[in-house]
Amino acid sequence: MNDKILQLQSDFENLKEKVNETKNKRDFQSKNSRKNKKGVTFEEFPIGSWVYVTRTATQKHSKLQKNCFGPCQVIGKVIPSSNYRYWVRDIIENKKYDVHIERMLSFAKELELTDTLKKHMSHNGDGYMVKQILKHKLTGQELKFLVWWSGFPKTSASWVSLSSLKEGSEKLLKSYAKKYSKDKILKRFL
C-alpha cells in the first residue's frame, strides 16, 4: 500500500514538472515571437554573475517608478534553452526568484562576499547609498531632497524625505546644508 502511495506521489510530481515545462516553453515561444517583432535584444547573464532586480515601486504616486533589490546571484535559467528567464538568489534573504531578463541590471561578474558587504547591502532593506544630494524642495510641511544614488545614473535620482535621508547620510546632509547655508527652508528644518 505504501509503495503505491509513493508511486502516486512520484507520478504526481513528474506530472507537475511536465506541466511547468510546457507552460514555460509556451511562455518562451510567446515572448520570443513578440521580441522578434519588436527587434529587442537583451544582455545575457552568465551563471554566477551578480545582478540587481528591478520592481515597480509600491508607494503612493509611483506607478512608473522602479526600485531595485539585490545584489542577487544568477543561479540558473528557468528554461535551459532560453535567455529570457533566470533563477536568481537574493543573498540577504536567501530567497530564490524567477526573474525576466528585462528586470535585471548588471552588478558584477564576480563578487567576494564578506560579512561587511552583506551588512551594507541589507541596510534599510534596500541597501542604497547616496552619491550626491542634488536639490531640495518643500512639499506641504515635509522637506524632500533629490538624491542621486550610488551605482545608478543621475537620471535615476529620486525625491526622499528628510527623515529617510538622515539615517546613514549625515555627512552628505551636513555638507549640503553648509553649501546652502543662506536658504531659509533648510535653516528651518536642519
Tell me: the pLDDT tens digits for 125-142? 445 678 899 999 998 888
Q: Is the peptide bond before 153 cis (omega within 30 degrees of 0)?
A: no
> Given a cut of 70, is residue 113 above it in pLDDT?
no
> Given a cut of 70, is residue 114 above it in pLDDT?
no
Annotation: CATH topology of 130-189: OB fold (Dihydrolipoamide Acetyltransferase, E2P) (2.40.50)
**3-class state of residue 149 by DSSP:** strand
pTM score of the predicted model: 0.40
What whole-number percentage of the chain has pLDDT above 90? 10
> Given a cut of 60, is residue 93 above it in pLDDT?
yes
When mean pLDDT is compared across 36-45, 71-80, 172-181, the lowest value belongs to: 36-45
- Tell me, what amino acid is at 21? E
- The pLDDT assigned to 103 comes to 85
- The pLDDT assigned to 135 comes to 93
Query: Which residues make Cβ contacts (< 8 Å) with residue 50, sequence separation at least 6?
Result: 70, 71, 72, 73, 74, 106, 107, 108, 109, 110, 111
Question: In the chain, where do the E strands start and end?
Answer: 50-56, 66-77, 85-90, 95-100, 104-108, 130-139, 142-149, 158-161
The span from the CA of 190 to the CA of 13, in Å, is 61
Which candidate, 121, 131, 122, places its Cα nearest to that of 165? 131
- Average pLDDT score over residue span 144-160: 85
Where do the CATH 2.40.50.40 domains begin and end in the chain? Answer: 130-189
- The pLDDT assigned to 163 comes to 81
- The pLDDT assigned to 127 comes to 54
- Average pLDDT score over residue span 54-75: 69
When mean pLDDT is compared across 71-85, 91-105, 107-121, the lowest value belongs to: 107-121
When mean pLDDT is compared across 148-157, 160-169, 170-179, 181-190, the lowest value belongs to: 160-169
Do 107 and 91 contact (CB within 8 A), yes or no?
A: no
C-alpha count within 13 angstroms, C-beta hemisphere, residue 13: 6
